[in-house]
Amino acid sequence: MLEVKELKKSYGNKEVVKNVSFTIDKGESFGLLGPNGAGKSTTISMICGLLPYDRGEVLVSDRSVKKFPMHIKKKIGVVPQEIALYPTMSARDNLLFWGKMYGLTGTKAKSRVEEVLDFVGLTDRAKERIETFSGGMKRRINIGAALMHEPELLIMDEPTVGIDPQSRNHILETVKKLNEQGMTIIYTSHYMEEVEYLCNRVGIIDHGEVIAIGTKTELCSRLVGGSVVQLTIEKASIEAVEALRSLDNINQVVTKEESDVVEVFVQNPHETLGNIMTTAVNHGMKIGAVEVKEPNLETLFLQLTGRSLRD
Ligand code: ADP
């Protein structure tokens, strides 16, 4: 369905997307996971044809986005981060407007608006002006706008940032349902839990590069020393960190500047925990809290980059 080949984009002399490549099959739900500034929005803007790329190629159903923009427009629905709605128009009229932009008219357009309102759970607010809606409700109508022309591929850019938990859950359930109904999805986020919940395959992006790609199981199997023992420290000690590094069964110890957290990667945390604590304390570290985290995409990101997704 989608092929992204060695995509590149620079602003001035700063390369913000560097050789990004991936493919997505029809019916997949693909997550692009990375921290703020990683290059997610830039990548998907190029996929949608909203931003020209410097190098590389994007093919949607084997056709170049550059050469066949109209073909792409029909196949793709885009939910941008910015709300693209008219604040003084009603929810219903906004959807009708977007339907017209995609060539829907007459009773077909009207009935599609009702279907979409029902799908995003806002039929009872249809007549009200967008400016009276909460941030989460605006996002839901924004998603509705992208669904009006029944696209084959839905691309969403961090659709749950800054909204209330109820709308967030509604959006996640909506995306899940769309994918179950056969729609192909690209979902960008810096929230690991959302990507893990929604996506069957994930590309992890950092500094404009895809640094890992695969199913969650494939990605987590790359973790050297599956679990992480996270120590929140009240008193730092370089000697303690060095002593932890030299312990048996410890794969990696990650510290961050100006952070009170030390992450210790281990295979069997419950067997090594006692030893970790004793060693740290004996070497002058004062520990405030301990948490054992099971392997997940967040811990993989931490191991690959030394940073957390929310840094
Ligand atoms: P993400 O969506 O992962 O948060 P973006 O794709 O928005 O990341 O941004 C990637 C990098 O490109 C950032 O460093 C950002 O500051 C930079 N960037 C994005 N848009 C522009 C622009 N129009 N001009 C200059 N730099 C930009």
183: which 2 tokens? Answer: 């729609």
- Measured by CA distance, the residue closest to atom 10 of ligand 1 is 39
298: which 2 tokens? Answer: 């967040």
Mutate to test the pocket of ligand 1, among 18, 32, 42, 82 (most ligand atoms within 8 A of CB): 42
Separation of alpha carbons 306 and 310, rounded Å: 12
In which residue are the tokens 């790609």 written?
A: 213
User: What is residue 19's predicted lDDT score, i.e. its pLDDT?
Assistant: 92
Separation of alpha carbons 250 and 266, rounded Å: 5
pLDDT 10s per residue in the chain (311 long)? 999 999 999 999 999 999 999 999 999 999 999 998 999 999 999 999 889 999 999 999 999 988 888 888 889 999 988 878 999 999 999 999 999 988 898 999 999 999 999 999 999 999 999 999 998 999 999 999 999 999 999 999 999 988 888 889 989 999 999 999 999 999 999 998 999 999 999 999 999 999 999 998 888 877 766 788 989 988 778 898 999 999 888 888 888 777 788 989 888 888 889 999 999 999 998 999 999 888 788 888 887 887 777 76
Indicate which atom in ligand 1 lies nearest the CA of residue 45: 6
Indicate which atom in ligand 1 lies nearest the CA of residue 36: 4
Residue 76 CA, ligand 1 centroid: distance in Å: 22
Q: What angle do CA 180, 162, 169 make, to 5 degrees?
A: 30
User: What is residue 59's predicted lDDT score, i.e. its pLDDT?
Assistant: 94
User: Rounded to the nearest 5°, which phi and psi values hold at 9?
Assistant: -150, 135
The DSSP call for residue 62 is T
Separation of alpha carbons 95 and 100, rounded Å: 9
Contact 286, 246 (CB under 8 A): no
- Secondary structure element (H or E) that encloses residue 262, with its range: strand 261-266
- Measured by CA distance, the residue closest to atom 26 of ligand 1 is 11
Indicate which atom in ligand 1 lies nearest the CA of residue 43: 6
- Measured by CA distance, the residue closest to atom 19 of ligand 1 is 42
Q: Count of CB atoms within 10 A of residue 194's CB?
A: 21
Task: Of 74, 75, 60, give the one whose Cα is nearest residue 1.
Answer: 60
CB-count burial class (<10 Å; 0-12, 13-18, 19+) for 32: buried
Indicate which atom in ligand 1 lies nearest the CA of residue 190: 3
Q: Return the half-sphere exposure (C-beta side, CA atoms, 13 A cut-off) of residue 271.
A: 8
Provide the 3-class DSSP secondary structure of residue 253.
strand
What proportions of the chain, in percent to the nearest 5, are helix, strand and coil? 40, 30, 30
- Terminal CA-to-CA distance of the chain, rounded, Å? 33
Indicate which atom in ligand 1 lies nearest the CA of residue 38: 3
- Measured by CA distance, the residue closest to atom 24 of ligand 1 is 11
Ligand 1 site residues, Cβ closer than 6 angstroms: 11, 16, 34, 36-42
- Secondary structure element (H or E) that encloses residue 98, with its range: helix 91-101
227-235 sheet: strands from edge to edge: 250-255, 261-266, 227-235, 286-293
63-64 sheet: strands from edge to edge: 14-24, 2-11, 55-60, 63-64
User: What is residue 83's predicted lDDT score, i.e. its pLDDT?
Assistant: 79
Mutate to test the pocket of ligand 1, among 14, 16, 41 (most ligand atoms within 8 A of CB): 16
